[in-house]
Structure 1
Amino acid sequence: MVRSATAMALTATETVRVGECLVDIPLREVRAPHARRPVRITPKAMGVLLTLARNAGKVVGRDTLLAEVWPGTLPTDDVVTQAITQLRKAFGERRGEARYIETIAKSGYRLLAEVEWLDAPEPALPVATVTLPPLAVIDAPEPSPSLPASPVPPAPAAAPARPARGASPGRRALIVAAVVLTALVLILAVLLVRREAEMADLARSLADASQTGRPYRLLTSAPGFEFAPTLSPDAAMVAYAASRPQRRGTAIFVQTTEPTTARALTAPPAGASDRNPAWSPDGRRIAFERRGPGAACSVMVVPASGGEPRKATDCDPRDLVSFSWTPDGQGLLFGSMHAEGVRVGLRVLDLASGAWRAIPYASAARDLDHAPRYSPDGRWIVFARNPQLGDLWRVPAEGGRAEPLTGQRMEIRGWDWLPDGEGLVFGRRIDSGTRVYRFDLRTREVRDLGIDNAQSPVVAGRWLAFVNRRPEFGLFRFERVAPSGREAVGERLFASSGRDAQPAIAPDARQIVFTSDRSGQFALWWADVAARTPPRLLSAVNPDMRRMPEWSWDSRRLLVVGRDGQGRIGLYEVTPATGQVTMLPVPVTDPIQGLYLPQPDRVLVGSGDGAGQVRLTLFDRSRAPWRALATLEDVSLAKVDPLRDRVLFTRLSEDGLWQADLALSPGSVRRIDAEAPARWAFRNWDIARDGRIYYLEQAADCAARLREIGSDAPPPPRCLDRDRLFTTNGFSVSGSGNAIYVPLATEDGSDIAFMPLPPEPPRGVAGWVK
């Protein structure tokens, strides 16, 4: 049956015929006639193909493809060219042919082949749970007995010889010149040796890139998690936190920037974890954070060559602790943290005396200034303000006025200075993955470095290290209240080789929507869980990965923050039954959430102000323009509890859960849980129809633990899965049924990657965008 592009979004479609080729959408495989085997294409190439197929016969511009397939990112035009080239190869086109895809000069591309959307097969039985090896028993290489020898320092210049008594001034000058020349030759020889070693290392990296198709090589490859890398000043060594065999928690490991056996630098006690290492400017010491056992938290310093760590300071376990070294190596610069019960901003700890010195600058009480670092010349401090939904800021090193740099309100996943101090690299979450970007301080331009699944970048010299994480997530259904004595067993809902997340079950307990990149591009999907229908694509709007869709009380409509096919960011109302999508006239420039209320003419809208602050506003939508009725400041996420006529919400600035009445009256605001959710996990909670509030967290002995919060007498926590991590952007509790829907990792792990720092293109060259 041939279907239109609109119909494709409303039916369960898994296969499409393009000309003589058959395309399996979930598997991302193209089977061309006479081909020996199907060709698997990348998720982004599949996204480009689906966009062209929905507009078959029409010219689709490059800007449209970038907005559809790479929403919220800053890629170059090369990514579109690479996707088109891959599609042409998969379709079997030869050079110079245009049987399937036609290039329209200076415009875009047009799909020439006929498109036929095929009916989906009958729904398959639920896929059995995939069990990953537990973190406690992950195999890892045995530590080597000692660290590799450090690079040989430059040979000192020879001391000048004393001229012979009575030597002439000319002869003395010749002797001095000879000595200076000898010293210069020795220094030049050392530099040439080092340069030769660097070029050899670069050649190996380029050779690795040509063989693997990626610009980096992996320094670690053991199962489990390696994260938070830090490079020695000469980039010869890397330290990182990693899981340990047969033990819970993490330790600090050190190895050369070759894929060699690592050495355990720290041995935390039982129940503790060491993480967040930071290499000192002189390369001799490494600072790190130790958590546990219990509620203990401390910052330690250990010789980079090994030895007994010593405690530099205590820290508060409520904080997301962050620190870096001062340029002289005599102290540590800390981000926002609690001190004597009060949160303070940027401070410097002198390691010799233990004295603290505050950086004088203006910050609001709710601001969280994270991961501060001095510039290479020591003149500036850059930090991430409110990294959950924030930006990079800078302040003079001696204090003064702080100013925003990036202005993108992003989820920041690590950052570092470039060696010349004129730019930064930073990681950020984009849709279902993470990427690394370069930021130019002079022009305020941002450039995507083109590395998938990359975060936590660090730089030393001409080298870049980062965390390479490649998770896959599936949706699992658990019983909300399990029979006594029975262990939780999750049922996998839909087979997928992608990343399924943000399940939102409707109040009728039948319909579910979720976000996924299973079709090649990040999109919204719908399914009937009661009828076991395969999910179908709702392609008219690309959702924001940071906020879950919100159902109406009659289960007919959705509020979705995202962008349409024209790249317009806004709050959209979606009707899954008909596929109708309407952009709502919300009078805010930066919507981040929409919520229905029992009154049909009222709606709650979360928004940002461009300066790292967020708020919740009650609007009357009965007339145009919408009228704001009330506002609550510092609201990171809100949910409506119709049973008790209240709004529950979290804050970016503090742990805990608050409530207000449906009118957002200031006098109704009160805190109902002081500890959970953690402000860094503000999306991991939901409300059941009976008013119970559930929170998903990671514990020492359980990777996905569910517990009830906001209650005076909660039942004991329940472990849903001991080994598989959950996504951090939301789960869903069935409104009228005994079910909870959780995204769990089906494949997971991370490694440390290493590569030459990509060169900066000349100003004005394509690829630099605002």
Structure 2
Amino acid sequence: MPASKFSFSLRIALLGLLFTLAACSLLGGEDPRWDTDVPRSAPLDALLGIWGPEGNRIAFVHTPDSAATEPGSYNQLWTYNLQTDTMRQVMRGPLFTPHWSPSGDRLVFHSPIPQYLFTVDPDGQNLQQLTGPDSPNPDLENTVVGKWSPSGKRILYTIEAGTPRGVSMMKPDGSSARILIEYGVQASWFPGGERIVYVNWDQSIEDGSRRKQIYVADTDGTNQRKLTDLKNSRDVGWPSVSPKGEQIAFAYNDQVHLMTADGTNVRQVTGGAGVAKQPVWSPDGETILFWRRYFDDPETPERLFLLDVETLEVEPVFPAEDH
């Protein structure tokens, strides 16, 4: 073979090897790209973060250092402005899973057991109870993970216990509450507001093993379709659709994963210690907010992080050097 042809063939082979190594890296091979040299987070307990609609604020759940001595200090609702680097307490706790309305003027969240849904202004005013006693739905409890629709006219939520239970919907004033998909949990909206993504038990497995998968459906509960066929998927959860509707982020096997909206090209995009939970897309689609729970370090139980979708670089929301 002439030297020029040999050199050309060698270059092609090397390029093929590089592409293969890059693919292995993205999918969790020997030398993954993610979570290398993550800056240290400030010692600030933070979890269940959610982007505000304008992309410069997040709401999250925070337990301050005073929790051991002050009643109502655990799992408070706070907001953080990334542009001004300022935190603000919205409500004392305990409460969970805040979510912004698309106008940014309301937040929905749920209380601990028996788990009632509420909405509130970002300054903590005008608290309204949507489920439970003295609400439009006095018989509803175990209602969790409220999600405003892109139009702001509906709220998705889950009835996670009792009968019947499953993915449900209501108007923001608590009216017209109904179950859409039995036994479904952790539903989230597609950006157009015409479809939802959620987690449910896989009914197609003939051996009866308890396995969860990610599904999509229309917002009236019809046209349900399974997207994933994940193994050992009891811990799959928190699906979140990108602003353009092209990708879905979700938690699985203790890490954040991505896939295209049709369920293909599943890939791991975070690594590291602890358990990664609740990935949420930023409004511009460039960053994913998620939180980690650390079980082996009682001094750092929960921390919020930002994942750059293109580079897979991770940094803390609250860097140690700044706080």
Cα deviation digits, residues 603-643 of structure 1 (max 9, x gap): xxxxxxxxxxxxxxxxxxxxxxxxxxxxxxxxxxxxxxxxx
Cα distance change of structure 1 residues 443 and 311 upon mapping to structure 2, 3 Å threshold: closer
Structure exhibiting the larger radius of gyration computed from Cα positions: 1
Structure 1 SS opposite 2:102: coil
Cα distance change of structure 1 residues 244 and 380 upon mapping to structure 2, 3 Å threshold: same
Number of the residue aligned with 1:304:
122
- How far residue 282 of structure 1 moved from its aligned partner, in angstroms, is 1.6
Cα distance change of structure 1 residues 325 and 261 upon mapping to structure 2, 3 Å threshold: same
Number of the residue aligned with 2:48:
228
CA distance in 1, matches of 2:144, 2:165: 12
Within a 5 Å distance, the mapping from 1:439-458 to structure 2 comes to: 439-442=259-262, 444-452=264-272, 453=274, 454-458=276-280
Number of the residue aligned with 1:698:
none
| Equivalent of residue 304 in structure 2, options 742, 749, 752 | 752
Does the CA contact (< 8 Å) of 1:426 and 1:437 recur in 2? Answer: yes
Structure 2 SS opposite 1:343: coil
Higher relative contact order (CA 8 A, sep 6+): 2
Number of the residue aligned with 2:247:
423
Q: AA paired with 2:101?
A: S
Does the CA contact (< 8 Å) of 1:370 and 1:386 recur in 2? Answer: no
Q: How many residues align?
A: 268
Q: AA paired with 2:30?
A: V
Cα deviation digits, residues 663-688 of structure 1 (max 9, x gap): xxxxxxxxxxxxxxxxxxxxxxxxxx
Does the CA contact (< 8 Å) of 2:116 and 2:144 recur in 1? Answer: no
CA distance in 1, matches of 2:149, 2:58: 19
- How far residue 447 of structure 1 moved from its aligned partner, in angstroms, is 1.4
CA distance in 2, matches of 1:470, 1:358: 35
CA distance in 2, matches of 1:301, 1:327: 16
Worse-superposed segment, 457-466 or 306-315: 306-315
| Equivalent of residue 405 in structure 1, options 212, 216, 227 | 227
| Equivalent of residue 82 in structure 2, options 251, 257, 263 | 257
- How far residue 352 of structure 1 moved from its aligned partner, in angstroms, is 3.2
- How far residue 747 of structure 1 moved from its aligned partner, in angstroms, is 5.3
Number of the residue aligned with 1:379:
194
Does the CA contact (< 8 Å) of 1:229 and 1:465 recur in 2? Answer: yes
Within a 5 Å distance, the mapping from 1:203-602 to structure 2 comes to: 213-214=37-38, 221-223=42-44, 225-247=45-67, 249-257=74-82, 260-268=85-93, 273-291=94-112, 296-314=114-132, 319=142, 321-337=144-160, 342-352=163-173, 354-359=175-180, 363=182, 368-386=183-201, 389-409=211-231, 410=233, 411-429=235-253, 434-442=254-262, 444-452=264-272, 453=274, 454-459=276-281, 460-462=283-285, 463-472=287-296
CA distance in 1, matches of 2:199, 2:129: 26
CA distance in 2, matches of 1:443, 1:290: 33
Cα distance change of structure 1 residues 748 and 317 upon mapping to structure 2, 3 Å threshold: farther
Q: AA paired with 2:82?
A: T
Number of the residue aligned with 1:71:
none
CA distance in 2, matches of 1:335, 1:444: 26
CA distance in 2, matches of 1:442, 1:288: 30
Cα deviation digits, residues 405-433 of structure 1 (max 9, x gap): 1111411242311111122001123xxxx
CA distance in 1, matches of 2:31, 2:239: 29
CA distance in 2, matches of 1:301, 1:353: 10
Q: AA paired with 2:301?
A: G
Q: AA paired with 2:37?
A: G
Structure 2: which 5+ residue stretches go unaligned? 1-16, 68-72, 133-137, 203-209, 313-323
CA distance in 2, matches of 1:435, 1:352: 36
- How far residue 261 of structure 1 moved from its aligned partner, in angstroms, is 3.9
Structure 2 SS opposite 1:246: helix
Between the aligned residues of both structures, percent identity stands at 17
Could you tell me the TM-score, scaled by structure 1's length? Answer: 0.32
- How far residue 356 of structure 1 moved from its aligned partner, in angstroms, is 1.5
- How far residue 258 of structure 1 moved from its aligned partner, in angstroms, is 5.4
Cα distance change of structure 1 residues 471 and 451 upon mapping to structure 2, 3 Å threshold: same
CA distance in 2, matches of 1:421, 1:232: 18
- How far residue 390 of structure 1 moved from its aligned partner, in angstroms, is 0.8
CA distance in 2, matches of 1:320, 1:358: 11
Structure 1: which 5+ residue stretches go unaligned? 1-61, 67-73, 84-208, 473-744, 761-770
Number of the residue aligned with 1:615:
none
Cα deviation digits, residues 365-398 of structure 1 (max 9, x gap): xxx3111112101221110114984111111123
- How far residue 244 of structure 1 moved from its aligned partner, in angstroms, is 2.8
- How far residue 301 of structure 1 moved from its aligned partner, in angstroms, is 0.8
CA distance in 2, matches of 1:285, 1:393: 28
Does the CA contact (< 8 Å) of 2:217 and 2:225 recur in 1? Answer: yes
- How far residue 443 of structure 1 moved from its aligned partner, in angstroms, is 5.9
CA distance in 2, matches of 1:238, 1:374: 18
CA distance in 2, matches of 1:282, 1:383: 24
CA distance in 1, matches of 2:300, 2:52: 28
CA distance in 2, matches of 1:443, 1:390: 14
Could you tell me the TM-score, scaled by structure 2's length? Answer: 0.71
- How far residue 316 of structure 1 moved from its aligned partner, in angstroms, is 8.2
Cα distance change of structure 1 residues 311 and 78 upon mapping to structure 2, 3 Å threshold: closer
Does the CA contact (< 8 Å) of 1:233 and 1:461 recur in 2? Answer: no
Structure 2 SS opposite 1:401: coil
- How far residue 81 of structure 1 moved from its aligned partner, in angstroms, is 4.0
Cα distance change of structure 1 residues 320 and 390 upon mapping to structure 2, 3 Å threshold: farther
Cα distance change of structure 1 residues 471 and 317 upon mapping to structure 2, 3 Å threshold: farther
